[in-house]
Amino acid sequence: SLSAQPPRGQVALGDCLVLSCAVATGKGLLSFTWHRDGSGTLLGTGSHLELQHVGDNDSIHYHCQVSDVDSVAESVFLNVTVLGKRDTPVGGDPT
């Protein structure tokens, strides 16, 4: 299963996005890798992927791949949407 914080993969521009991947069963040590938009480019390893300060180019599909001693499984794709600029707090500094 694949989940995101904030929920539904919607994150404000400049905020942090955390993706989590979990499997029901596996044999031995599990290995997690993260990829975007079907590319083979490795974004990270481990059951969580944290993207700090997301930008417009982070609006894309992500998925994890999990392998054990016998097999490899891929999660469904999660569409991440980066929403417009964060609102400036009242009386706050926009930076």
- Amino acid 6: pLDDT: 73
Neighbours of 32 (CB within 10 A): 19
If one compares 64 and 89, the residue with the highest pLDDT of the two is 64
pLDDT in tens, 35-75: 998 677 899 999 999 999 999 889 999 999 999 988 888 88
- CATH class, 2-83 region: mainly beta
pLDDT band at 89 (very low <50, low <70, confident <90, very high): very low
Q: What residue spans define the domains of the chain?
A: 2-83
Residue 91 pLDDT > 80, yes or no? no
Neighbours of 11 (CB within 10 A): 22
If one compares 83 and 85, the residue with the highest pLDDT of the two is 83
